[in-house]
Structure 1
Amino acid sequence: MFYLPEHRKHPEFWEGVRDQASVAVGISAWGLMTGVAMVQSGLSVAEALLMTFIVYAGSAQLASVPMIAAGAPLWVILAAAFCVNLRFVVFSAHLRPYLMHLPRWRRLVSGYVTGDLSYVFFARRYPKPGQTPLEVARQQAYLMGNCAINYLCWMLASVIGIFLAHAIPPAWGLGFAGILALLGVLCSLASSRLRIVSAGIAAAAAVAAWALPLKLNILVAIAAAVAICLVLEKTPLRGAGDQHA
């Protein structure tokens, strides 16, 4: 496992486990649906398993699988996955003061296993980095406990979805369950007016550009939201509560 034995000595580790367990059903539904989608889109079981264990990013997997099935150019697939995961650049920049004391390999592992909701729970619980070695250790323990549940739920559900892809009927509505999981992530992150506006712009642009081939409406939505929000961010009309969007 990616966490160290000393992490479990801290009560914060188990608090992280409990917090992430509260959303485990949504994570599992999303992972199950992603596993099913990969196989039903044409990937072999081996390819789907490799993608699950290497990529470990549901939104990027769901964005790239239809493009792979449609025979899209590699650069388009990579660009879409990169844009979808740009939010992790922001997450990493925010987490840097919390993790910069760790060896490089542990920083890389922490970045790999930290998901959307893991970041949300951690950022809400610890608005500032620890000031003492004990505080730093507790924060790291909480993050790893949180990530452990997220990782296990996602991987287990994805593998089940991959192996049962042809046995699960579409009438079960697993796609809708995945959408609900994504909406849960979206609502958790919509903590300022600017973020709400960016989500609305991205949604409108994605619908307006729906007819584009190779799911390029995703790139259009991201570009539109980023461009307009960069302009809005520089306007003097924003409220003080939006300074840290």
Structure 2
Amino acid sequence: MEILNPKKEIMQVVRFILFFAIFPIVINSCYGQNTLSGNFIYKSPTVMVNDIGVEYSFDDDGTFNRTKLLHLGSKELSKGLYTISKDTLILQFEPYGKMDTIKDVTILGKNKLQSLPIFDNSNNCLIKIYVKDVNGVPLKGTNLLLKDLDNKTLIALVSDESGEFPELNMQSPIFQKLILSTIEHKEIEIYTEPFFGYSSSIEVKLKPIDIIHKNMSIEKRFLIQERTKNKIKLIQLPNKEKIILTRQPSD
């Protein structure tokens, strides 16, 4: 007959409980060392202007976004994937694809003009235009120019507070293109030929001139010297430039 040792049984139970209590902590710690999360900023000690620097936004899924802050509020954007291998941070930059860029012109509706068979609507068109910025905010005061084949302005209109223009009723292909422009945004040209014979409504989004999407496929490596919750000390390889990323206060 086996004699049970109560103390031995208690110790086995304690070990069992400790194992399942500590194991998730160890796993999470190892996982955390291989991922980054949050928004960080780097400011070169050689640059005296406060609003110039580089911002990094890291996600747990292994992606990052980089924003280079330039003069006069301009921004250069880039993105990619990151990995942490032992003591090395690897940034693999990727070019922006078509899905990453905001579509300039969106056709909200396009219906064929209805008329009696004896009338030809192929030289007529109705166009309703709404203009917004990249965040979907209506742009008041945007200029709309209707131009002919020789680039002469035939009609000029201005958008209202809702970013709307009066409906265009063009009855001749003399109107070759539409040009939308406003300060601090990139100009957009829209050719009218595809809209003749239809009643259309379109939404136009104007992009700011101070945002540049940097398309590059390169890899950058950094040696991790020190890593805390609010600061990451790096040495860029191979030029050995020292970089300190500081977590953003609002993060």
With the length of structure 2 as denominator, give the TM-score of the two structures: 0.21
Q: Which has the higher helix share?
A: 1
Q: Which structure would you say has the larger RCO, counting Cα contacts within 8 Å and 6 or more residues apart?
A: 1
Select the structure of larger CA radius of gyration.
2
Q: Which has the higher strand share?
A: 2
